[in-house]
Chains A and B, each alone.
Chain A
């Protein structure tokens, strides 16, 4: 069965600092990988996704993520965090050859210090 682990439940960074959110997955093959962001009380917004090809993917709002097969990781990065980035971030994995079911990680709550 596939699974996703986000090791950090909470992360606090200063505004303007760089950010890396970790995501590790367990799956028998190369999965499809997603990062979603959720502001308080809101739905999920897709930041970026990886299906194949270039392992460094660019997303919206200045985010990028790098797929590393050898480490089963798909970490999310941003060079300079803005206060508006404070939110919950979910990594998710989708199956390659089955129904389109997403498996979410537990989420990482990002807080931004002024």
Chain B
């Protein structure tokens, strides 16, 4: 099973709302990732969690707050977003966080629209 699940599939929120995106995998992977993808662009890395600890934050604004409660679950908390944050948010996981030959498996994404 190489499945990464994400909920919700679609999310519409106002600029004052607080919402959360959820990502789950049951493959025993110890690295999880959040990417942001704008239309017609490749995914851009936002955060990397290794063994449930934040290891990389690609200078993401603080209105995005990641959380990794356990090795299977990754959340992205959203607060006071801007319309330009509207995008497809992709979660991925890999068996090990570093090096070599660790393939990232992607979820289907959450399509976010900020009004």
Contact = CB atoms under 8 A, between A and B. Distances in A.
A96 interface: yes
B48 interface: yes
A83 interface: no
A32 B45 contact: no
> How many B residues are at the interface, by size bracket?
20 to 34
7 contacts: A46-B104, A98-B98, A99-B48, A100-B104, A101-B56, A107-B40, A109-B40
Nearest to A51: B101
Contacts of B90: 43-44
Interface in A97-111: 97-102, 104-107, 109
A90 B42 CA distance: 7
Nearest to A95: B99
Contacts of A26: none
Q: Which residue, A44, A45, A90, has most C-beta atoms of chain B within 10 A?
A: A44
Contact of A100 (B41, B94, B105, B108): B94
Interface in B29-45: 31, 40-43, 45
Contacts of A98: 98-99
Contacts of B108: 42-43
Interface string A38-73: 000111111001010000000000000000000000
Contacts of B20: none
B107 interface: yes
